[in-house]
Amino acid sequence: MKIIGAQAVIESLKNEGVEVVFGYPGGKVLTLYDELYQADFHHILTRHEQGAAHAADGYARATGKVGVCIATSGPGATNLVTGIATAYMDSVPLVAIAGQVEVPLIGRDSFQESDIRGITTPITKHNYLVKKIEELPTVIKEAFYIASTGRPGPVVIEIAKDLFGEVFDYQYPEAITLRGYEPVFAGNEEAISKVVEELKQAKRPLVFVGGGVHIADAAEEIREFLKLTGFPVISTLMGLGAVPGNFEQNLGMAGMHGTYAANMATTECDLLLGIGVRFNDRVTGLLEKFAPAAKVIHCDIDPAEINKNVRADLRVVGDLRWTLAQLCKMVKELEQTELTERVTDWNKTVQNWKTEKPLTYEQRPRQIMPQAVVEKVSQITQGDAIVVTDVGQHQMWVAQYYNFTHKRSLLTSGGLGTMGYGLPAAIGAQIGLPDKTVVLFSGDGGMMMNCQELATAAELNLPIKMFVINNMVLGMVAQWQRMFYGERYSHSSIKGKTDFVKLAEAMGVTGFRATKPEEIDEVIAKAFNTPGPVLVDIWVAEDENVLPMVPGGATLDQMVLEG
């Protein structure tokens, strides 16, 4: 059929099953937006392009679908960059469509021209600059295929402005073949057999679950494997929720702010089975002494991750749904007690660590403790919510004290550590899962990064419950200054600078505040009982640290536990 390029974009999105896009209009995409208006396609107007990218990211993480965002050329496109980089670091399927100046003007430093393809090359799986209208349908088909297959990630499509109005004979390809890109699903069964042989020999095995388990939708498989083997399990920040927090064998999060039991188990285990983990610096501590007594088995869909940080004695490359299904199948063929009896003493040891040194904090009589806020919200939601965070101290307290029980229940910027991610990502998650309770934890620093999206939440009347853990400092920065920089708080105090209740109300969001411990129960209950978006400004202790903490350059067993 004969249509213009703007119509072709919309038809292509429909062909890919896209139900909603997030964006912000501008000069080079006005023709596309005119067609969006006429097509009545579901578009969410954010208040900043960065908000659109993070919202598409949150939508993708919560639903497992590809998130889509749109921006104009130049500053519109460059405002997407932080969101694209965030998605890239955490392997989130995202397609970002950016306008570009007209084909004859490309490369002439034209008004609102930027080389977004060049800018985003290091932070995308692939990107395109479309200058011929006939290529547009195939490019869009390829972009969605690349973004969603193998190890997911963001893809950028730049489209020259004149193509949006150009008429051509549109036909959407049913399938595509990309030379050199062949995503793996099934791996090598012989490698699985070798893994099982190692499992049979191990006396102190430990399963290490990462965000790849959520990406592969393999939470059920990992839970079955743990029940079959009886092995203890630890998690990365991104892996939280793959195994329920109250699962007996779960020792909690490992790494810089991990639990004592998780870090000690990593140090003492003789076999470490990594499932969809990156072994990044936040979980390894001093790399040369990470898991010093262990044989390391690394299972991942991306061969580039294996041996990148931690040397693997065995590797299994394949989709984790396939890997874990094969592991469960072979483990079932063993004698029922062949694995479980061997690790009885080891399980007693790790449970003792868990019991003797649990996560704990000091209750102060006249100050609200941030951990208590997280615990209360976890209790009210019973772990059955989509929890979104910004980055900093509150993020770690959520990881430590919220009882995650479901897959895809924690949305957070793990790899890039993006302040300002939380609010727009919560919007995306609520749009994608309108019947779920969505909870946002942010800091007083992070909330200001993209606070304009409060207006988006208000306009759409999204029932997001937002809790600002307000210690009136840039919390994690201040903690490092307190612990390692002689208490020299260089530009980390933001005391008294923002009234978050007034800010929320100015944007059309209901605002509450709690400043005393006795107000917490009532104000949190009020937030959940109030329709629409609600922001609760909670004044917490200014000098509280996230503990345990592994200082930079230390090993995992050299945790600072208190004080």
- Per-residue pLDDT reduced to its tens digit, 387-405: 999 999 999 999 999 999 9
- Mean predicted confidence (pLDDT) in 482-504: 93
State residue 420 phi and psi, 5-degree precision: 95, -5
- Mean predicted confidence (pLDDT) in 99-109: 95
Q: Angle CA(349)–CA(382)–CA(207) in degrees, nearest 5?
A: 30
User: Is residue 222 a contact partner of residue 243, using CB atoms and an 8 Å limit?
Assistant: yes
Predicted local distance difference test score (pLDDT) of residue 562: 81
* C-alpha gyration radius of the chain: 24
Parallel, antiparallel, or unpaired for β 233-235 and 43-45?
unpaired
Q: Angle CA(546)–CA(552)–CA(555) in degrees, nearest 5?
A: 95
Cβ atoms within 10 Å, residue 528? 16
Which of 14, 38, 111, 338 is an active site residue? 111
Residue with tokens 């990593």: 266
Which of 476, 507, 549, 559 is an active site residue? 476
500 is a catalytic site residue: no
Order the strands of the 534-539 sheet from edge to edge. 410-411, 386-389, 438-443, 465-470, 534-539, 510-514
Which of 11, 35, 49, 544 is an active site residue? 49
Cβ atoms within 10 Å, residue 39? 15
Per-residue DSSP letter, 107? T
Per-residue tokens: 341: 């009896």
Which of 112, 351, 452, 558 is an active site residue? 112
Half-sphere exposure of 534 (CA within 13 A, CB side): 20
Q: Angle CA(38)–CA(41)–CA(42) in degrees, nearest 5?
A: 140
- Per-chain mean pLDDT for the chain: 96
Which domains, from first to last, does the chain contain? 2-169 (3.40.50.970), 189-356 (3.40.50.1220), 370-539 (3.40.50.970)
- Per-residue pLDDT reduced to its tens digit, 436-478: 999 999 999 999 999 999 999 999 999 999 999 999 999 999 9
Q: What percent of the chain has pLDDT over 90?
A: 93
447 is a catalytic site residue: no
49 is a catalytic site residue: yes
